Structure formats: structure tokens, C-alpha cells
Amino acid sequence: MSAAGPVVDAAIIVSESRRKVLEEDKSPVPPPQMIRALVDTGASHTCVDPGVLAALGLTPTGKSDVVTPTTGVKAVPCDTYDVGFAILAGKPGESHLIFPTWKVSSMELFEAQGIHALIGRDILSRCILNYNGSQNAFTIAY
């Protein structure tokens, strides 16, 4: 648990299909972007900072309407991207949770706090999240 809340190490990579195309074209595959991601049960889907997506040389695959506390009831259209997303294991020998292709929305986040993604309920629906506020601890099982 960090001062920002339940934060995990994660990696963003090009999607599986994009990687295959790059390899077939003998083009370089961008290296993984190692990031910190905030677990956010209030987010319906996972969002990634645009700087991380730009570093992978990705182009948008669509749009999604996003409502945040700052937008009130008005939805804001955000670009969506297909990426590979991994929550990295907390301890050596444990398995990472890997999604070879996952749709994320591009949204400026908390870069000043070192947060480059929000892990939303789309990913959390495939996990067990235990948040123990009195112990200042959390676990994610998958």
C-alpha cells in the first residue's frame, strides 16, 4: 500500500496481434513500459496515461465515453487502444497476471504521483481483491 492507495507494478506492451505484425514486417517491437498502476474499484474500465501509449507507438482503435468526478454527468470521449497488460507478481516465483490483448482508455492520470494507469473493474472482475484498510494492506489474487 502506498500513500496513493493500492498500487501495483505493471507492464504495458503492444497487443499480441500488433507484436505479430511487427515481427512479420521485421520491425522492432517496442520494449515494455514498466509502470505503477492504482487499483480503482470506482473505475469501470482500465485507463492508461497517454505518454505510456505514445512510447509504444500505438494508434487509437476506437473511442469510449468516460465520466469522472471532474466531468460531472457529462461524458468525455477518450481514445481507446489495444495493448498487452500485465500486473506483475509481488514476490519472486509468483505468476504475473497477463492479458495479451486488452482495451484501455487513454486518460491523463496522476503522473506527478507516479501513477500511470488505473486498474478498473474490467480487470478486477477476473481477480479477488482484498482491501484491509485497518491494516493498510491489500492483496490481489488471480
Residue of 15, 1, 4 lying closest to 84 (CA atoms): 15
Quote the CA–CA distance of 86 and 9 in Å, as a whole number. Answer: 9
Q: Report the percent of the chain where pLDDT is more than 70.
A: 98
Query: In the chain, pLDDT over 90 holds for what percent of residues?
Result: 71
Please state, in angstroms and rounded to a whole number, the distance separating the CA atoms of residues 103 and 105: 7
Joined grid coordinates for residue 86: 500485465
- What values do phi and psi take at 123, rounded to 5? -80, -40
pLDDT at 112 over 70: no
User: Residue 34: how many CA atoms within 13 Å on its side-chain side?
Assistant: 3
Under a CB-based contact definition with an 8 Å cutoff, are residues 16 and 84 in contact?
yes
CA angle, 130 then 111 then 105, to 5°: 70
Distance between CA atoms of 51 and 125, rounded to whole angstroms?
A: 26
The x, y and z cell numbers of residue 120, run together, are 478498473
Backbone angles phi, psi at 50, to 5 degrees: -60, -30
The letter for the amino acid at 96 is: H
For the segment 56-107, what is each residue's pLDDT rounded down to a tens digit? 999 999 999 888 777 778 888 999 999 999 999 877 888 899 999 999 999 8
pLDDT at 36: 95
This prediction's pTM: 0.88
